[in-house]
A and B are shown apart, each in its own frame.
Chain A
Amino acid sequence: MKPIFLPEVENNPQPSPTTDLIRAAQSAGTEYPQIWHLFAYRAQATGNLGAFTQEMMRGECPLSPGIRELIAAFTSYGNDCPF
């Protein structure tokens, strides 16, 4: 995988569940989505993003989780973001 623009971000993961995922993928030699580096770097901020996403995607709502994921996938496709 190509390094991300900011090596300090990539090389300074804070203790977090995402950091454990990165370590596991690295030791298994498998590729992983690099958004994990962003989540691991500034856990204080991205923890809130995670809580927001959890509520949006899985919280109580008449739209099923499947439909909500479809809206997210459709928007990401429109933004040309494959992940």
Chain B
Amino acid sequence: MPHIQLSEGLPGIRGLFAFRPETAKPLCELAEVLLHTPGTLSLAERELIATYVSSENDCYYCQTAHGAIAACHLEGNEKLVLNVKRDFEHAAVSEKLKSLLAIAGKVQRGGKNVQAGDVERARRQGATDQEIHDTVLIAAAFCMYNRYVDGLATWAPPDPASYRERAAKVARDGYQGIPADVQAAQAGRT
């Protein structure tokens, strides 16, 4: 049960977005820039970084929601998402993504864990400064989202299959704009 009174039926961060629209807007727009803006890192790679960090933070809602979105960008390959969470160094992803996931994992354990050697490894695999920058910012932002979601003990549907439908919509349309059900709950509060 959530620690504070939230709208029923909105899981995870969506219940929090309904609770506090003023902070929901910049948090959604940040997610849009980090995860759904075209760049040299693919949308699948960005979602895998977010999923991996959320998994390391043991945040069920975020890792399941973003894992499902990552799978949508990977033609439904949920097995690959699982392998990245379990042991990315041996998953079927590029050496460059492995080096970026290693940096993301260190950010998750604490920013100061990232050493010059980690950055060197990523550069050797062809990562640009912008890609390394975005990896660190995605990892840091998801530590915030994960702590926000779990720090208020939000509810999350237990069945991973129930995340697929919404994931397909987010994979297609992105994070911009507050979803209609969250807007309705926001209106109900005022």
A41 touches B133 (CB 8 A): yes
A44 touches B129 (CB 8 A): no
B-contact 0/1 string along A2-39, CB 8 Å cutoff: 00011111000000000000000000000000000010
Majority secondary structure of chain A interface residues (helix, strand, loop or mixed): helix
B-contact 0/1 string along A39-67, CB 8 Å cutoff: 00110110011011001100100000000
Q: Which residues of A contact B114 (CB under 8 A)?
A: 5
B137 touches A45 (CB 8 A): yes
A9-B25 contact, Cβ under 8 Å, with A45-B34, A48-B30: no
Bound form: Cα–Cα A44–B38 in Å: 13
In the complex, the chain A residue whose C-beta lies closest to that of B29 is A48
Specify which of B27, B29, B112, B119 is in contact with A6 (CB 8 Å cutoff). B119
Specify which of A51, A79, A80 is in contact with B26 (CB 8 Å cutoff). A51
Majority secondary structure of chain B interface residues (helix, strand, loop or mixed): helix
Q: Is A1 an interface residue (CB 8 A)?
A: no
Task: Give B46 Cβ to nearest chain A Cβ, in Å.
Answer: 12
A42 touches B133 (CB 8 A): yes
Q: Which residues of B contact A52 (CB under 8 A)?
A: 23, 26-27, 30
A8 touches B26 (CB 8 A): no
Q: Which residues of B contact A79 (CB under 8 A)?
A: 110-111
Q: Which residues of B contact A56 (CB under 8 A)?
A: 23
Specify which of A8, A45, A48 is in contact with B129 (CB 8 Å cutoff). A8
Q: Which residues of B contact A49 (CB under 8 A)?
A: 26, 30
Bound form: Cα–Cα A38–B130 in Å: 11
Task: Give B86 Cβ to nearest chain A Cβ, in Å.
Answer: 28
B111 touches A51 (CB 8 A): no
Q: Is B33 an interface residue (CB 8 A)?
A: yes
In the complex, the chain A residue whose C-beta lies closest to that of B132 is A6
Task: Give A81 Cβ to nearest chain B Cβ, in Å.
Answer: 7
Q: Which residues of B contact A55 (CB under 8 A)?
A: 22-23, 26
B129 touches A7 (CB 8 A): yes
Q: Is B116 an interface residue (CB 8 A)?
A: yes
Bound form: Cα–Cα A59–B133 in Å: 29
- 10 new A-B pairs (CB below 8 Å) besides A8-B130, A45-B30? A5-B114, A5-B116, A5-B132, A6-B119, A7-B129, A9-B130, A44-B33, A48-B30, A52-B30, A56-B23
List 19 A-B pairs, Cβ < 8 Å: A6-B119, A6-B129, A9-B129, A42-B33, A45-B30, A45-B33, A45-B34, A48-B26, A48-B27, A48-B29, A48-B33, A51-B25, A52-B26, A52-B30, A56-B23, A59-B23, A79-B110, A80-B110, A81-B111
